[in-house]
């Protein structure tokens, strides 16, 4: 697990011995935060690599392949997303993409681990000024507690967490989904990353089943993400009368996206057949 001296590579091992790795030129930083083990590497071809508890969070070159599909499909399917909540996302990449939408009046981010924010601010070229944007409200705290207690209402809630095992498991529970549903405006989207399609299939199915109990409609989609055992899965919960199968292509043009292609929005919904069948039976 982790850094391999002989290969000079960082390798993340998934279940069943499936590995994803990067050649490393420098070991920059390693610390035990209050919540998790944080490692930072310089890679040969993908910029800096951020690792939490042994799992790849992002590489600087290609992080948009995760942040674009997490943020823009829901933002562009919503007619007027003004108030946004991000749970997790300490590196600031999700916040950055959210703030690119002119409709946004306020984006609240609740990250449990302050060290992730600090380290990202110092070492990573990811947030690109998002933390300083006047529309951003960045809070250090427990997202589960925040969502249970807040009086605010949101048009879009985005969960940018670690895997549905370990500390983030609570973010994939029916109770959490209910709190999220309650804190959405009459019409709203909830989106969460939901793990590797091939290697966390059971977690994906479980999360989908739980979300279906709570939201008016639930969609699933997948996207190839650089640095993860791809394809990666995403789940979208809908409250009220919103359609996730269509996006505003006019608004999308101004964003000049690199990975997610709004003009081919329908290609998001591609899943390996066996996974689609498992989801349909869930």
Number of residues lying near ligand AG3 (CB under 6 A): 15
Interaction between residue 64 and ligand AG3 (CB under 6 A): no
Contact letters (x/-) for ligand AG3, 143-162, by CB under 6 A? -----------------x-x
CB of 96 to ligand AG3, least distance (A): 10
Looking at residues 170 to 209 of the shown chain, list those that interact with ligand AG3 (rule: CB under 6 A). Answer: 193
Instruction: Find the binder of ligand AG3 among 36, 43, 65, 94 (CB under 6 A).
Output: 94
To which H or E segment does residue 94 belong? helix 93-98
Q: Which is nearer to ligand AG3, 81 or 89 (CB)?
A: 89
User: Binding to ligand AG3 by residue 268, rule CB under 6 A?
Assistant: no
The candidate with the shortest Cα–Cα distance to 80, out of 53, 102, 95, 57, is 102
Closest to 222 (Cα-Cα) out of 263, 267, 162, 169: 267
- Cβ atoms of residues 13 and 57 within 8 Å: no
Quick one: which H or E segment has residue 222?
Answer: strand 217-223
- What distance in Å separates the CA atoms of residue 106 and residue 89, rounded to the nearest whole number? 16
What CA dihedral angle connects 158, 163, 164 and 167, to 10 degrees? Answer: -100
Choosing from 73, 89, 237, 262, the residue that interacts with ligand AG3 (CB under 6 A) is 89
Catalytic residue chosen out of the listed positions 91, 113, 155, 160: 160
Q: Are 228 and 20 in contact (CB under 8 A)?
A: yes
- The answer to whether 248 is a known catalytic residue is no
User: Does 231 sit near ligand AG3 (CB under 6 A)?
Assistant: no
Active site residues: 160
Q: Which residues bind ligand AG3 (CB under 6 A)?
A: 12, 55-58, 66, 89, 91, 93-94, 160, 162-163, 193, 228
């Amino acid at each position: 697990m982790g850094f391999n001296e002989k290969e000079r590579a960082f390798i993340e091992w998934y279940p069943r011995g499936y590995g994803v790795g990067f050649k490393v030129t420098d070991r920059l930083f390693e610390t035990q935060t209050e919540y998790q083990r944080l490692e930072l590497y310089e890679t040969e071809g993908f910029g800096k690599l951020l690792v939490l508890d042994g799992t790849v969070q992002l590489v600087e070159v290609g992080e948009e392949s995760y942040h674009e599909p997490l943020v823009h499909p829901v933002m562009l399917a919503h007619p007027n997303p003004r108030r946004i909540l991000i749970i997790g996302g300490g590196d600031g990449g999700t916040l950055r993409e959210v703030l690119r939408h002119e409709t946004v009046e306020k984006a609240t981010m609740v990250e449990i681990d302050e060290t992730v924010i600090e380290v990202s601010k110092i070492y990573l070229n990811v947030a690109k000024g998002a933390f300083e944007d006047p529309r951003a409200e960045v809070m250090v705290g427990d997202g589960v507690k925040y969502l249970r207690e807040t009086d605010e209402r949101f048009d879009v809630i985005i969960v940018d967490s670690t895997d549905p095992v370990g500390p983030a498991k609570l973010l994939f529970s029916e109770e959490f989904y209910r709190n999220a549903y309650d804190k959405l405006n009459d019409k709203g989207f909830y989106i969460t990353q939901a793990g590797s399609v091939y290697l966390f299939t059971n977690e994906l199915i479980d999360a989908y089943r739980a979300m279906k109990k709570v939201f008016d409609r639930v969609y699933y989609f997948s996207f190839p993400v650089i640095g993860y055992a791809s394809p990666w899965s995403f789940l979208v919960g809908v409250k009220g009368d919103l359609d996730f199968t269509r996006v505003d292509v006019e608004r999308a043009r101004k964003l000049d996206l690199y990975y997610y292609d709004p003009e081919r929005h329908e290609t998001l919904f591609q899943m390996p057949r066996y996974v689609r069948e498992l989801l349909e039976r869930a």
